[in-house]
Amino acid sequence: MSCVQTFQDYAFRSLGYGERLLPRSDFTLCEQFTLIGSGLVWNIYFGALALFFGFFLATAVAVARNSSAWVVRKPAEWFIFVFRGSPLFIQFFLAYQAFVLLPRNGIELNLIFTHITAETGWLTRAWAGALVVLFLNTAAYSGEIFYGALRSVPKGDIEAADAYGMAGWKRFRRIVWPTMLRLAWPAYTNEAIFLFHATTLVYFSGFPAWQQKGDALYYANYFADKTFNPFIPYPIVAFYFILVTLAIIGLFGLINRRLNRHMPSESRPRLRIRPQVIR
Amino acid sequence: MKKLILGTAALALSAGMALAQDVVRLGTEGAYPPYNFINDAGEVDGLERELGDELCKRAELTCTWVTNDWDSIIPNLVSGNYDTIIAGMSITPEREEVVAFTQPYTPPSLSSYAALSDEVDLEGGVISAQTGTIQANHVVDTGATLLEYPTSDECVAAVRNGEADAVLADKDVLVPIVNEGDMVFVGEDTPLGNGIGMAFRKSDPELKDKFDAAIQSMKDDGTMNALIIKWLGEDSPRW
Amino acid sequence: MFASCADPSTLEGLNWLACYLTSGKHMAFYQSFLVVLALLAITAPAALLFGFGGAMAARSRIWPLRIFGRAYTAMVRGIPDIVFFLFVPVAMDQGFEWLRHKVKCPDWTEPVRQGSDFVVCPAAKLPLSTSPQWVHETYGFALAVLAFAVVFGAFAANVLYGAMRAVPRAQIETAEAYGMTPRQSFWRVLVPQMWIYALPGLSNLWMILIKATPLLFLLGVQDIVYWARELGGSKTSIFAYPHPDWRLYYFLGLLIFYLMLTRVSEAVLTRLTARLSHGQATLAGEAQRKAAQ
């Protein structure tokens, strides 16, 4: 079987298209590259969506944590503490165990005007359940980063905004938020990289694979299990993840340039990807 | 002439190897009752514990027990972390490519489906099975939706909480669960595999032969059947 | 444990629970918490050592060493740690055995790789197959520690490399003006001062390390996750204490354990920061000096 044929059969296997049966014997390097690459689609799906949704919740959490009102600040602090203070591995496991306990045929929501049946079955599937966990997790981590940045927004900027008569939402939207993002961006880039790495845990703890549709590490594990040789599939995963990491650094670097475009060129911070700030 | 000397050297070395191997390390999973499990005292227990100890006595070997995840149980054998696998492992052609099996110590056993009700679509439904087992392969072959978990216990839990419609596992493993719980056997029992045997490194034939002989002697004097009755029940196939 | 636990099937209620929670298996579970703490206690200094070496290599004037240091520190950015854990320990184990094989059995003629088997001479086995079980367990644990130290050493190298560059240039220049050699100024001026700059990163790293410990069970060590899964799974009457699926409760226990560990660590690290800031040419050090006046 040629490599092109293998590619056609397995390139979208992780989504359920193509050949139904996974290769069982005579594993070629091409099969391993194709299937593991096909699984990578899920890693990118989890990482990109969790990052996107998490971004908004993180902003809200950071603002809440900076609030002077006790009722708003405390929940935000606890949210960050629980998700940053415990291993993602355990969070996945607990989430799965909790999701399967939800009633099968949905929860009856008795609103005043109407009955709504909330479906819960999909939460036990990795595409939704694991996404929820990753979303909350990254919101907590990024929330902490944004909070730190929020605290370091220069006082002068806010005073200047006041002098211009800006207040409330407008001041936040036009002055505080962009500055916060600019300050937080290097650390946030790290968070993005680690979030993508964390997506490999989805099928490793808690969430089961349906119809052998899994992520890159799931297929690598499949090959390691069948060939009894860990030295080929896992380095392939590593190779793919280096590519993903480089792509993230490139993309976030572009955004960083845009966020800093108004700064004088010497004081523009270069994006330094050092994992000391987060996680 | 030179070849001959080399040959004897190799012989002497392999004899030395057998001597050096005073302690044989038996690898098992420890999560597959009644074959092997960790009892409440924290020790390996079950059919295979008793079997392994008896085999070591008959082969005049000192043995210790090691537990290892099912996932990596063969890689750890071939890289030499223990000397044999005795973990309810069915003899299959795929595995025989990598490891050497003894003769089976239980007859080809049946695999069964268990579910919460007997109206389950075994071919179109969702079937849970342990990753990397012959049952998982079989589910894929029937065309049903395979749901994989790392241990057999999680597969059963998946049926209880409604994730899966049925579980496919060794019948002997499911019998106590069905007898004591709310689950029932569904559909036909399927014979899978060629019985359960001990697995060895292919480069280690002497040790394999010793255990092979011990298994044969246990089959001959009926102790093997007694063990099967004790742990797997009267209904399980015997020699 | 208790004498009344001899026949668990007659027990009920709290008595049953008391016996259940003190069974041999639970004792192993409680001990495994110590395993996790031991891993943390050993890995942290080991990773620091690896990190220090990595940072020094990355600063080296010899370019192959520098390339090596840079590649090592870049490694953790690109590759998920779990992927490392899945094959680094196996690779290290086989590497060590192969080296010992070369040294101890030079006249061994059979190939080391026979099909998928990895065969070294008995004298080169690690640990020897004659050694007792605790040696095997310790060796497995040591491999796990080494794997953790390699991965987290790369993180630490990043942090320390940054910290070394953060020490004010004037400090080094002053050292040079006093006639110190590069080696002297490195050890006597740079290293003592870099810790305060490294501390935020290192504290963070400690937190990451705590949260990576559940991955221990991937390395075949019987840690708290292993026992929580084992104990929590539903048990039929073949076991002395049959019960349904209780994994949720066991994992909630683990969650609380980790949250507590994080809390305690945060408190300790805050105090340590205050301690290390003392007498440093940083804002915090300056604030302390002013407060003391």
A19 with A10: CB under 8 angstroms?
yes
- Give chain C's domains with CATH numbers: 16-292 (1.10.3720.10)
Q: Residue B161 has what pLDDT? A: 80
Q: What are the φ and ψ backbone dihedral angles of A113, each rounded to 5 degrees? A: -90, -30
| Confidence check: pLDDT of B17 > 60 | no
Chains in touch with C (3+ beta-carbon pairs under 8 Å) read: A, B
- Per the prediction, chain A carries an average pLDDT of 85
pLDDT, position B12: 36
Domains of chain B by start residue, with CATH: 21-107+194-232 (3.40.190.10), 110-191 (3.40.190.10)
Task: Name the average pLDDT for chain B.
Answer: 82
Q: How far is A241 from chain C (nearest CA, A)?
A: 6
Cβ contact (<8 Å) for B78 and A24? no
Residues in C touching B152 (Cβ below 8 Å): none
Domain positions in chain A are: 42-267
Output the pLDDT for position C192.
86
Place of tokens 């899994």: A214
> Where does the pLDDT of residue B8 fall: very low under 50, low under 70, confident under 90, or very high at 90 and above?
very low
Name the more confident of A123 and C1: A123
Phi and psi torsions of A278, nearest 5°: -130, 175
Among the residue ranges A105-119, A122-136, B84-98, C210-224, the one predicted with the least confidence is A105-119
DSSP letter for B196, please: B
CATH of A42-267, one of 3.20.10.10, 1.10.540.10, 1.10.3720.10, 3.50.50.60: 1.10.3720.10
- Percent residues over pLDDT 90 in chain B: 17
Residue of B nearest to A210 (CA): B147
Distance CA A110, CA A129 (A): 24
A241-267 pLDDT, tens digit per residue, is 999 999 999 999 999 888 888 877 656
Between CA C92 and CA C85 the distance in angstroms is 11
Q: Is the pLDDT of residue A81 over 90?
A: yes
Determine whether the interchain pair B158/A208 forms a contact, defined as Cβ–Cβ distance below 8 Å. Answer: yes
| pLDDT tens column, B58-111 | 988 888 888 888 877 888 888 788 889 999 898 888 888 888 999 999 887 788
How does pLDDT run across B158-197, given as a tens digit for each residue?
888 888 889 999 888 888 888 887 888 888 888 887 889 9
Q: Which residues of A touch B146 (CB under 8 A)?
A: 210-212
> Between B98, B143, B163, which is nearest A228 by CB?
B98
Task: Give pLDDT tens digits for C17-45.
Answer: 888 888 888 888 998 899 899 989 999 99
Q: How far is A208 from chain B (nearest CA, A)?
A: 6
Position with higher pLDDT, C116 vs A184:
A184
Q: What confidence score (pLDDT) does residue C74 get?
A: 83
From A200, A273, A279, residue closest to C80, measured CB to CB? A200
Q: What is the pLDDT of residue C259?
A: 95
Choose from A225, A226, A232 for mutation: most chain B CBs within 10 A: A225
* Pick among B95, B98, B161 to test the A interface (most A CBs inside 10 A): B161
Asked if B146 lies within 8 A of A211 by C-beta distance, the reply is: yes
pLDDT confidence tier of residue B215, bands split at 50, 70 and 90: very high
DSSP per-residue letters across A84-105:
HHS-HHHHHHHHHHHHHHS-TT
Residue C129: per-residue pLDDT: 67
Instruction: Report yes or no: B88 and B147 within 8 Å, Cβ to Cβ.
Output: no
Comparing CB atoms, the residue among C78, C162, C248 nearest residue A242 is C78
A222: nearest Cα among A24, A62, A17, A34: A24
Interchain proximity B148–A224, CB inside 8 Å? no
Nearest to A92 by CA among A135, A48, A140: A135
Give the three-state DSSP class for B85: strand
Contact B42 C25 (CB under 8 A): yes
pLDDT at B38 over 70: yes
pLDDT at A276: 41
In a mutational test of the A interface, the residue from B140, B149, B159, B165 whose CB has the highest number of chain A CBs within 10 Å is B140
For chain C, which residues score pLDDT lower than 50?
none
Higher-confidence position of A77 and C242:
A77
In chain B, residues with a C-beta closer than 8 Å to the C-beta of A211 are 145-146
A106 pLDDT tier (thresholds 50, 70, 90): low
Query: For A202-217, what is each residue's pLDDT tens digit?
Result: 988 778 888 888 899 9
Put simply, the answer to whether C255 touches A235 (Cβ < 8 Å) is no
Amino acid at C140: G
